[in-house]
Amino acid sequence: MIKGICEGLHYLHQINILHLDLTPGNILLDEDMMPKITDFGLSRCFEEDQTGVITKNVAGTRGYLAPECYNKEIILTHKFDLYSLGVIMIEILTGKKGCQVILRMYEQFIHHSKSNLTNNDLWH
């Protein structure tokens, strides 16, 4: 299943389409259990010589959006879809919502960072 999603996303990126809302709900399975990427309502196309699209307004599904999407102005590239793909892969492999796993990782990082700052132990 993961391979099929990767192939579909690769195809979209080859023809300069960014999906920008890749979630499990936007991946349907056909009768042969082959994944089909759907819901292109938020997708963006760009010219062949462009590597991304500049925007100030990013929409999508929380938990599947790359952290950079929360900046005021960003350049959208295929990397945003790859972040979403990674979250979906975590969900498939662990059976848990990927955004919850990532949130726990962020919380652990913040806790560890605060602990190091409090102890003046930045380099250990």
Please report, for residues 13, 27, 29, the alpha-carbon distance to residue 23 in angstroms, rounded to integers and kept in the order given.
17, 7, 13
Residues annotated as part of the active site:
21
Backbone angles phi, psi at 48, to 5 degrees: -60, -35
The b/e string for 49-62 (b: 16+ C-beta within 10 A; e otherwise) is eeeebeeeebebbe
The residue type of 3 is K
Specify the length of the chain in residues.
124
